A and B are shown apart, each in its own frame.
Chain A
């Protein structure tokens, strides 16, 4: 579906992307992982033809982006990292504009907006000006914009940054839902997000691809995985059990693990 071949991008003397190649298959959810400034956004801007690459090429569905970007843009829905929206429009005005400019026919426009509003849960804010929306709603309007024309490919640049854990889960589920039929590339710098949603992961650092594969494969390859742990349920006195375990051959350490994550607690409280 998407072929990225030997992509490089230079700004002056700084190389932001250095000879990157990977491909995304149809119907796949690809997580694009890497620290801030690794080149994730740059790659996405090149796929969407906002920027031109210094060298290399991107093919979408067999069409070279630089040669016929009007065609490739039609297949792509894109949410930029900054979630740019026209602030002085009402949400409904904006969605209508997006639907029209995306070429949805007059008789389908109402229905399609309804569907998108439904799946992004925007009903309550339809009549609000965009500059009065909360971060979570902005993000959802941004996603609504990206899926409006039912694109084959969805490119989401850090769709969950700045959201609270509940909203993060919602957006993740939305991505999973969309990803059932569509090809999705989304970037993040949160590891757990990737394992929760993605079929495949590309990890990028300083403009180069450092690892690629399913989340399980990547974990398998990392050093941390070589140490294994066993979870034991106990009753009675912890201390004596621990002492007992420590005596077993091959055990490096034993400790009581009673932490639940903050995320779990938050979800419990905000249910």
Chain B
């Protein structure tokens, strides 16, 4: 681990990020995210008549559910389909360098998109007194949740050549991880599993962080989750036994 190591990651990362902007996917992604997010929020905002940003961050996990797999679906699937993976894995880079570059490429893109929605809290703040804590908490919480979704999506993309399959499976897996700790999922579960499911689901971590309480346990949870899935990803790449 030296300077060269991170420089190579940075070069690969730049290529990944450029990949988004070289195809229309980036603009469609940002446009859809901002329009749908703003519309869903302001639709009920004026009815309720409170200067409260919370409903927006309650929406985000659902929007990310579609958008995160859309960002990751092509990252490995396309390399395999077009054969460029043979180039990528025969230049002097390690599997970890490639996986990290792809992950951070998609994460930075997601963060940029998220930050473009800053007009929303600014508008709300202009309409009355607003608590800044939940806004910051909401953004940080969303970034961590987005990262976790992306790590799942990236892993699943490495299992297939087909982008559509990567998208659908990625969405399902993210949905399952988000719902696993939700109340209705816990009703039917055996008693001893309830605390485990509550801990492993994204939902509880997300909402407690979004309130503005950044607990180290939530941060550690997300970090380990992301690390685990990136590790799975390197295992798949290393085995070269994909379809």
Contact = CB atoms under 8 A, between A and B. Distances in A.
Contacts of B4: 103
Interface string A221-261: 00000000000000000000000000000000000000000
Given A50-B90, A74-B92, A101-B91, A89 B22 contact: yes
Given A48-B90, A50-B90, A82 B83 contact: yes
Contacts of B92: 70-71, 73-74, 102-103
B86 interface: yes
A82 B83 CA distance: 7
Contacts of A73: 90-92
A88 B90 contact: no
Given A51-B240, A85-B84, A87-B82, A101 B8 contact: yes
Contacts of A50: 86, 89-90, 240
Interface residues of B, number: 22
Interface stretch (B11-19, B118-126, B166-174, B179-187): B11-19
B46 interface: no
Greatest chain B CB density within 10 A among A49, A84, A103 is at A84
Nearest to A74: B92
A145 B88 CA distance: 12
Contacts of A126: none
B93 A101 contact: yes
B22 A88 contact: yes
B129 interface: no
Size category of the A interface is: 20 to 34
B2 interface: no
B91 A102 contact: yes
A217 B118 CA distance: 74
A102 B15 CA distance: 14
Given A86-B84, A88-B22, 7 more contacts: A50-B240, A70-B93, A73-B91, A73-B92, A84-B83, A89-B18, A145-B87
Interface of B: 4, 8, 11-12, 15, 18-19, 22-23, 82-87, 89-94, 240
22 contacts: A48-B90, A49-B90, A50-B90, A70-B92, A71-B92, A73-B92, A74-B92, A82-B86, A84-B84, A84-B85, A84-B87, A85-B87, A86-B15, A86-B19, A86-B84, A87-B82, A88-B19, A93-B18, A100-B11, A101-B15, A102-B92, A103-B8
